[in-house]
Amino acid sequence: MTRAAGFVLLAAAIAQAQVPLGLDAYIPAPENNPLSIEKIALGRKLFFDKRLSRDGSIACASCHDPNLAFSDARPVALGIAGRKGTRRSPRIANRAYGKSFFWDGRAATLEEQVGGPIANPLEMDLPVAEAASRVNLSETELRRALASYVRTILAGDSPYDRFVAGDRTALNAQAQEGLKIFRGKGGCIACHLGPNLTDESFHNTGVGAGDEGRAKWSGRPEDTAAFKTPSLRDVASTPPYMHDGSVATLEDVVEHYNRGGRANPYLDSELHRLQLTDAEKRALVAFLKSLSGTIREGSL
């Protein structure tokens, strides 16, 4: 069997593996970095390897804790020597389906993204090539392995997924009412849509004044303080919220949008006062809690 044919068979085997309910069986990966068992296993080890930080004190998993749905309980990322970042560590489940990476979308691929936190002086503070040499890999090998592992972190099979798949009992009456609001009066679905509940686009919701956001990379003034819509999967178990971790609870998030976001010159045109009743707000929160399911990682 040729090496190429072997790759195809392996990719097929990977795809045959059960993805969590609610997600696509097709997991996008670049032609030059198809998923393989070896790379995923290597990437998994690297994800927990503290040698990738300058002082050997933190690993990727330090801010993307598997016990917190690959999230972080802190408002902003904490790097080596207690250095504080400016933004919250994004949840990284289902990033295989992503179209751009980081809150401001500055990385086009996962291969590019995984090097960012390693090199960031406020995070792991180590040139990626140096980090790679510490673990006896080339930089390309390191990037491809980490990206491959991240592609296997998949969250789904929530009550919401079961409901959408046809199980009418999977959501209780309150959560079903919340789903109606999510799709209708609340207008949440304008940005939180699709299997991963994100449009992978950038919006200014009036959070985090002083951070250029997407505009720094797009050069478009209208992108000022616009940040990528996060997935809502497992959102109930991953507070605090927003790109700067400035909102503590789901109830506060709902209230933020109920007020139409925070006024500023670049506020997204989708935002306006929702005039939700207290019961509607509670229903919306109940629905958001139904988005918690199972997370699968590292396996084929």
Partner 1 sequence: MRTLSTILLLAAALSPPKPVWTGPSVTLLGGPSKDGRWLSYVDHGDLALRELASGRTVVITKRANGSKEFAYFSTISPDSRRIAYAWFNKLGFYELRVVDLDGGEPRILYRNEETGFVQPCAWSADGSQILTLLFRKDNISQIVMQPAAGGLPKVLKSLNWIYPKKMDLSPDGRWIAYDSFASENSGERTIYLLAVDGSRERRLISEPGDHLFPVWTPDGNSVVYASGTGVRMLDLADGKSRSIADNLGRVVPLGITQDRTYYYGLRTGGTDVYASEIDMAQGKSGGSPRPVSIRFPGRNSQPSWSPDGQWLAFLSRRGTETFGEETRVLVLRAAKGDGERELAPKLARMDAPHWTPDGKALLVRGTDRLGREGLYRVDTETANAVRVAEPVDANGCSPAKAVLCGTELRVGAERYETTLAKPTELAWAPQRDAIFVGDGSRLVRIPLDHSPVQKVDTPSGFSIHPNGRTIAFTAGSTNSEVWALKIP
Interface with partner 1 (CB under 8 A) = 8, 11-12, 14-16, 23-28, 163-166, 168, 180-181, 183-185, 189-190, 193-195, 199, 269, 272-275, 280
CB of 181 to partner 1, least distance (A): 6
- CB nearer to partner 1: pick between 54 and 256: 256
User: C-beta of 24: minimal distance to partner 1 in Å?
Assistant: 5
Token pair belonging to 203:
């919006």
How far is residue 239's CA from residue 288's CA, in Å, rounded to a whole number?
A: 12
DSSP collapsed to 3 states, 174-187: HHHHHHHHHHCCCC
* Phi/psi of residue 51, nearest 5 degrees: -65, -15
Residue 177 CB, nearest approach to partner 1 (Å): 9
CB–CB of 79/120 below 8 Å? Answer: yes
d(CA 97, CA 89): 18
DSSP letter for each residue of 222-248:
GGTTBEEPPP-TTGGGS-SBSTT--B-
Rounded to a whole number of angstroms, the minimum distance from the CB of residue 87 to partner 1 is 25
Exposure letters 4-26 (e unless 16+ CB within 10 A, then b): eeeeeebeeebeeeebbbbbeee
Q: Which of 44, 50, 43 lies closest to 124 in space, CA to CA?
A: 50
Q: Which amino acid is at 194?
A: G
Residue 170: CB minimum distance to partner 1, A: 11
CB 16 to partner 1: min, Å: 6
Report the alpha-carbon distance of residue 106 to residue 18 in Å, rounded. 31
Q: Considering beta carbons, is residue 132 or 153 the nearer one to partner 1? A: 153
Residue with smaller CB distance to partner 1, 46 or 283: 283
Cα torsion angle, 234, 237, 241, 245, sign: negative
Nearer to partner 1, 58 or 147 (CB): 147
CB of 179 vs partner 1, minimal distance in Å: 9
Beta carbon nearer to partner 1, 163 or 241: 163
Q: Which is nearer to partner 1, 12 or 67 (CB)?
A: 12
Q: Residue 106 class from Cβ within 10 Å (0-12 exposed, 13-18 middle, 19+ buried)?
A: middle
Contact in structure between 34 and 96 (CB atoms under 8 Å): no
Q: How far is the CB of 202 from partner 1 (least distance, A)?
A: 13
CA distances from 144 to 97, 113, 126, 214, 297 (A): 16, 11, 18, 25, 16
The residue among 85 and 159 lying less far from partner 1, judged by its C-beta, is 159
For residues 47 and 202, which CB has a smaller minimum distance to partner 1 in the complex? 202
